[in-house]
Amino acid sequence: MKMKILFMLLALSAIVFTSCDDNKKKDQEDKERMEQMEAEREAEMNAEKERMEMESNSIAAKAMETDTLSTLVSALQTAEMAELLTVSEGPYTVFAPNNAAFAKVDKKTLDNLMKKENQEDLSSLLEYHVVEDEITSQELVELINDNDGEYTIVTLEGGELKATLEGENVIITDEAGNKAKVVQADVEASNGIVHIIDAVVMKKA
C-alpha cells in the first residue's frame, strides 16, 4: 500500500514539474514573440520616419520650397514626374531652369507643352534636364578640366549636354547649341543635387 502511495506521489510530482516546465516554456515563447513583434514594429516606425525625412528633403521638395522654381514645379506635376523626384532614392542631378529661364521660352510652345495631351513631350523635355548620378559643382569642374575643357553629360532622357567653363561659370550647352549658365549650384537633397540654370535646355529638333 505504501509503495502504491509512493508511486502515486512520484507520478503526481512528475506531472506538476512537467506542467511547470511547460508553463515556463510557454511564457518564454510568449515573451520572445512579443519582443519580436515589438522589434518589427520599431523597425517599421524607423523605416517610415526615414522615408518621411527623405521625402521632405527630396529634390521635388527642395524645388517646391524655392520660389524661383515654381514654373518647374508646375511642369513636374503636369508631367507626373514630381513623385519620381520625391520617392526615388536616385541619386539624381537636376539642372533646374528657374522661372526667368521658362519666361524665355516662346509662350505658345510652353503653353502647348503644359497641356495634358502633350505630357509625354513635357516629360521628355524635363528628363533632358536630369542625370542619373550625383555630380557636385566641384566634381563637374574637375570633369571639365580633365576632359580638355568639355565634359559630355548623358541625361535621363538619353540625350547629351556639354558642360564647359566660361571664367568661373559652368555653362551647359544643349544639342541645339543653346547655352545655360549655372546661377546657383549644389542645392543638396536627400536623393541628389540641384543646380539652378538660367535657360531651358532642349534637344535638337
Query: Residue 23 above 70 pLDDT?
Result: no
Reported confidence tier of residue 204, pLDDT bands at 50, 70, 90? confident
pLDDT tens digits along 140-154:
999 999 999 999 999
Give the rounded percent of residues in the chain with a pLDDT score beyond 90.
52
Query: Residue 42 above 70 pLDDT?
Result: no
CATH T-level assignment (fold) for domain 57-197 = FAS1 domain (2.30.180)
Tell me which of 181 and 64 has the higher pLDDT: 181
The predicted pLDDT at position 19 comes to 56
Reported confidence tier of residue 51, pLDDT bands at 50, 70, 90? low
Question: What span, in angstroms and rounded, lies between the C-alpha atoms of 126 and 72?
Answer: 9
The predicted pLDDT at position 115 comes to 87
Enter the C-alpha cell of residue 181: 549658365
Query: Residue 6 above 60 pLDDT?
Result: no
Question: What span, in angstroms and rounded, lies between the C-alpha atoms of 118 and 136?
Answer: 32
- CA angle, 121 then 88 then 54, to 5°: 130
- The reported pTM is 0.74
Distances (CA, A) of 167 to 149, 171, 177, 190, 196: 12, 10, 19, 30, 18
Enter the C-alpha cell of residue 138: 566641384
The one-letter amino acid code at 121 reads D
Query: Residue 198 above 90 pLDDT?
Result: yes
Query: Residue 134 above 60 pLDDT?
Result: yes
The predicted pLDDT at position 24 comes to 66
| All residues at 6 or more sequence positions from 184 whose CB lies less than 8 Å from its CB, including other chains | 195, 196
The predicted pLDDT at position 13 comes to 58
Reported confidence tier of residue 84, pLDDT bands at 50, 70, 90? confident
Nearest to 141 by CA among 175, 92, 185, 198: 185
Starting at the earlier edge strand, list the strands of the sheet with 192-197.
130-131, 92-97, 192-197, 179-189, 169-173, 160-166, 151-154
